[in-house]
Amino acid sequence: MNNLVLGTAQLGMNYGVVNRMGQPSRGQALAMISRAVAAGISTLDTARDYGTAEALLGQLPTRLRQQIKVVTKLDPLRALPINADEETVRAAVDESIHCSCEALRVERLDVLLLHRWEHRMGWNGVAWARLLELKDSNKIGVLGASVYEPAEAMEVLRDPNVQHLQIPFNLLDWRWRAAGIEQAIAARPDIVVHARSALLQGTLINSQVCWPAVEGFDAGRCIKTINLLVANLQRQSITDLCFAYVRSQSWIHGVVVGCETMTQLEENLKLFSSLALDTLQCAQVERSLPRPPDAFLNPTKWSQLEAVSAS
C-alpha cells in the first residue's frame, strides 16, 4: 500500500480532539491491523506512550509480525528530573527499550524515535549516548526523532546519527516550505521521513465547531476554500484532498495516518491507492490556502488556547 503507514495511537488509547468513538476493543484493533497488513501496509507507527498499542502489535500472529516494520518511540521519561544522575538516566532508557521489546515481543527494535527532541541534549546528552550504545550493540536498528516544529527538524537533519524523522504536516502547514525542508532533506538521502497530522487529528475533515479558535485566523473562510479546491481538483472529499496533497510530496516517504474504525481504515486504503496531486495542483493548493498561525497548526498548543479563551 505505497506510502501509507498505520498510526496506532488511536488503537492503544483514547486519542484525538475530535474522537467521539474512543479506543476500539482489542479484537477490533487487531482486526484492523491485520487488515492493514493484508492490504500491503508494511510499516506501523507506535510508541511506549500509546497505552496498549505496542502490546497489541506484539499479539499479532507471528506470520503477520514478520511482515511489518515497527517504528516506536522512547518513553517520554516524564518522571525523570532534569538533574537526574547518569546512572538513573541510563536505567530509565534501558527500561523503556526493555518494555518496548517485551510488549512487541521482539529482541531488537526496528526503529526507535525520541518522542521529545529535547531529549537529544537533555541530561547532558546521557540518554542519547545510551541509545547510541544500544544501537551499536544491535538492540536498535535505526535511531530517529519525532518533532513538532521545523526548527527542531532542521536540528535533526544536522545530526548524522539520526536516520528517521517524523514531522507533523498537512495542506495548511506552510511552515515547512518556508523553512526549506525539502532542500534540507535532499542533503540527507540516508534519512527516512514520515509525516503525521495529514488530517490534523481529524480536525480538517470536521465542521468548523471542531476547529480550534485562533485569533486572526478565519477558519470558516479557510474551510470554504478547501471545499472549493475539492471541487476544482475533482477530489472525492476533503479527506481525499488532504491525503492527496501530503502523498504528492516527494520528500515524504511515509504518511502516518491513524483511525478508530474498520470503515475509516477501508476508506483510507482506497484513498491511498488513488492518484496524488501533480506539481501544478499542489501549487494551486498552496496559493489558495491561508497561512494559519503556529497556535493552530500545533495541537500541543490547543489546550493553552482553550485556557486563554476560558479565562
The footprint of ligand NAP (CB under 6 A) covers 7-10, 16, 18-19, 21, 45, 73, 115, 146, 166, 196-202, 205, 239, 256-260, 264, 267-268
- Please give the radius of gyration of the chain, using alpha carbons only, rounded to the nearest integer: 19
Shortest Cβ contact with ligand NAP: which residue?
7
> Residue 207 or 279: which CB sits closer to ligand NAP?
207
> Residue 123 or 169: which CB sits closer to ligand NAP?
169
Using CA atoms, how far residue 246 sits from 99, 138, 171, 278, in Å, is 33, 33, 7, 11
> Residue 16 or 212: which CB sits closer to ligand NAP?
16
CB atoms within 10 A of CB 147: 20
- Give the phi and the psi of residue 49 in degrees, each rounded to 5: -90, 5
Q: How far is the CB of 294 from ligand NAP (least distance, A)?
A: 16
> Residue 7 or 93: which CB sits closer to ligand NAP?
7
> Residue 92 or 149: which CB sits closer to ligand NAP?
149
Q: Please give the angle made by the CA atoms of 98, 103 and 106, to the nearest 5 degrees.
A: 70
Q: Which residues contact 196 (CB under 8 A, 6 or more apart)?
A: 7, 45, 166, 167, 168, 169, 255, 256, 257
Q: How far is the CB of 85 from ligand NAP (least distance, A)?
A: 27
Cα–Cα distance measured from residue 172 to residue 294, given in angstroms and rounded to the nearest whole number: 11
> Residue 229 or 246: which CB sits closer to ligand NAP?
246
Q: Which residue type does 115 have?
A: H
Q: How far is the CB of 26 from ligand NAP (least distance, A)?
A: 17
Q: How far is the CB of 280 from ligand NAP (least distance, A)?
A: 25
Helix (H), strand (E), coil (C) string for 201-250: CCHHHCCHHHCCCCCCCCHHHHHHHHHHHHHHCCCCCHHHHHHHHHHCCC
Cα–Cα distance measured from residue 101 to residue 139, given in angstroms and rounded to the nearest whole number: 9
